[in-house]
Amino acid sequence: MSRRPPPPRREAETAPPPAARDLLALDGRRALVTGASGGLGEALARRLAEAGAFVICHAATRPERARALAASLRAAGLEADAAQADLTAPGAAAELLADAGGADLLIHAAARQDMGGVSDMAAGDWAAVVGANLDAARALLAAFAAQTDPVPRAAALVSSVEASRPLPGHAAYAASKAGLESLVRSAAAEFAPLRVNALAPGLIDRPGLAEQWPEGLARWRAAAPLGRPADPAEIADAALFLVSDAARFVTGTTLVADGGLSAGPGW
């Protein structure tokens, strides 16, 4: 069986490192944020735009929210546009990137979380979750890496602490996120010097969370050393780090942002 040769080694950069004040600046870069119609996606898009990037706010099923987000960013003097695509459709990822005029940075937050256990989830529902969370990510990464412009690129794929600590009834979601983290390691090796990392948040706060899931929130508060869920902006800050020059030697890994939950025995 033939094997693809490893990418050529690159010598260490001889130029001085960026100034500390410039490490998180994204001026002149185009960033695609998928799933920007959700709370986390909105925070991701907003933070990248604030850092200077031109942000393409993607949505699959709620394009009006992506358009409203892009409009609000432009009203604040930032650069943004909106796009819609079903990333599970064949060829949709490449078409999205082409229609957007390409991208230097990618944050992939689009996902679905259907409930069901290993034995009681219908095969079609399982396939739909894996298709949306893993297969679409593979297609998007491949299309992102296939761009020919010789510019430094970085991608951050949103995983979850459930990749290693699945909750009961979240089997398909947890398995797809575990696969996503493995995909990131493979892509980092295959697509270098493109940097590819994963970001694994813990519980993220949202309006109505305390009323909708009081027992889960209580267990999280008791188990996480920081004693609270994350604000979406805190996860966006971690994503900004991963795609910025501050992480220019970071690739093929998963950054966990869970308020310390992984340091404890579980929740």
Residues sharing a CB contact under 8 Å with residue 53, sequence separation 6 or more, in sequence order: 26, 27, 29, 30, 31, 79, 105
Q: Could you tell me the residue ranges of all domains in the chain?
A: 26-260
> What does the pLDDT read at residue 2?
46
Position 216 scores a pLDDT of: 92
Q: Give 149-168 pLDDT, tens digit per residue.
A: 767 799 999 999 999 998 88
pLDDT for the residue 15: 72
Cα–chain-centroid distance for residue 235? 10
Confidence of residue 114 (pLDDT cuts 50, 70, 90): confident
Q: Per DSSP, which regions of the chain are E strands?
A: 30-34, 54-59, 80-84, 105-108, 154-158, 195-201, 254-257
Termini Cα distance of the chain: 45
Q: Where in the sequence numbering do the catalytic residues fall?
A: 173
- Percent of the chain scoring above 70 in pLDDT: 93
When mean pLDDT is compared across 74-78, 125-129, 198-202, 263-267, the lowest value belongs to 263-267
Q: Give the span between the Cα atoms of 158 and 44, in whole angstroms.
A: 11
Q: Does domain 26-260 have CATH number 3.40.50.2300?
A: no
Q: Under a CB-based contact definition with an 8 Å cutoff, are residues 241 and 253 in contact?
A: no
Query: Could you tell me which residues are beta bridge partners of residue 254?
Result: 198
- CB neighbours of residue 148 within 10 Å: 5
Answer yes or no: is pLDDT of 257 > 90: yes
